[in-house]
Amino acid sequence: MPRPKADFDDLRPLAFREPDEVLDADRMYTIYEVARLLQGVETDAELDVETENVLLDWAIPWMLKYADEFVFAEPENDAEPGHYGLATEE
């Protein structure tokens, strides 16, 4: 249910960090790892499903916003996620 803005004490602008501020140029990450890094969580942290879903809710639009700055590697098999990294000139 929508709430009035007056219900909130702290309203801030939505700001996205640049991909090179979050990811290492020489690494490839799963969407789950990207989601964790965006929130300052270790990539191997154990998270419950609900928390993981919230992190993904933030990561997916961020990756879409910066899609031109990413490369993608196919998963090794159907049970694995793909990997994403920064697009760099080689």
Per-residue pLDDT of 37-57, as tens digits, reads 999 999 999 999 999 999 999
Count CB neighbours of 70 within 10 A.
17
Q: Where do the structural domains in the chain lie, given as residue ranges?
A: 26-86
- Distance (Å, rounded) from C-alpha 31 to C-alpha 64? 12
Res 78 pLDDT > 70 = yes
Confidence label for 60 from pLDDT (cuts 50, 70 and 90)? very high
β-pairing, 83-86 with 70-73? Answer: antiparallel
pLDDT tens, residue by residue, 14-45: 778 899 999 999 999 999 999 999 999 999 99
Whether the model pTM is above 0.85: no
pLDDT at res. 90 = 59
